[in-house]
Chain A
Amino acid sequence: EIVMTQSPATLSVSPGERATLSCRASQSVSSNLAWYQQRPGQPPRLLIYGASTRATGIPARFSGSGSGTEFTLTISSVQSEDFAVYHCQQYHDWPLITFGQGTRLEIK
């Protein structure tokens, strides 16, 4: 099983600042990496797939990068609605799909 490790567990930023979230895979997942946003009481929402492709309707302030084992989600200027939990997911190792433990983005 591929283990996904996200850091930090909690990230505190002020609105308008840049936020950088990391996800590391225990072995290469190529570019088969997705990011999801989850607001309280809501299901996850797909933000990024293929490591860097924005899903339909996702604002341009969200960007993804990386390949192999190291990945980054960047929010260029954090808005109030962006404070949520972010999950990374590898879908390289079917059928053993795995998620990271999540990073909580909170208001500083």
Chain B
Amino acid sequence: EVQLVESGGGLVQPGRSLRLSCAASGFTFDDYAMHWVRQAPGKGLEWVSGINWSSRSLGYADSVKGRFTISRDNAKNSLYLQMNSLRAEDTAFYYCAKDLGTWGLQPFDYWGQGTLVTVSS
């Protein structure tokens, strides 16, 4: 059974940093691209960042480019999102999602339950 479990969310002050993790199991992690998607409470989905299987191809939404960094450790079956210079508008549930394919050019067939990030003073 595919499982994606996010962790690392919480309350953080504006301008500070936070690192999210996603532990994957139930599939061959290094065969697939992975993504982070966020959803502000009561709002729609926003793709944040994606990474292909080898970490050679990365992508970011304009809203987080230069502040967030995605990475993965295939030996640990883990995906990460380093979030710096956080803003109030970054407040959202952050979901880890598995790509259907290897290069990040497919939709997302499995999602975690999400971790809540609240940016507030």
Hey, which bits of chain A sit against chain B, CB under 8 A? 1, 32, 34, 36, 43-46, 49, 55-56, 87, 89, 91, 94-102
Q: B88 contacts the other chain (Cβ, under 8 Å)? A: no
Considering the chains assembled together, what is the distance between the CA atoms of A44 and B47 in angstroms?
Answer: 13
Q: B113 contacts the other chain (Cβ, under 8 Å)? A: yes
List, in ascending order, chain B residues with CB within 8 A of A43's CB.
95, 111-114
Interface size of B by CB at 8 A reads 25
Hey, which bits of chain B sit against chain A, CB under 8 A? 35, 37, 44-47, 50, 57-62, 95, 100, 104-109, 111-114
Cβ contacts A to B, 21 pairs, < 8 Å: A1-B62, A32-B105, A34-B108, A36-B45, A43-B114, A44-B111, A46-B107, A46-B108, A49-B100, A49-B106, A55-B109, A56-B109, A87-B44, A87-B45, A91-B106, A91-B107, A94-B104, A95-B57, A95-B104, A101-B44, A102-B44
Considering the chains assembled together, what is the distance between the CA atoms of A14 and B58 in angstroms?
Answer: 44
Nearest Cβ in chain B — how far from A36, in angstroms? 8
Do A96 and B44 touch across chains, with their CB atoms under 8 A apart?
no
List, in ascending order, chain B residues with CB within 8 A of A34's CB.
107-108
List, in ascending order, chain B residues with CB within 8 A of A95's CB.
50, 57-60, 104
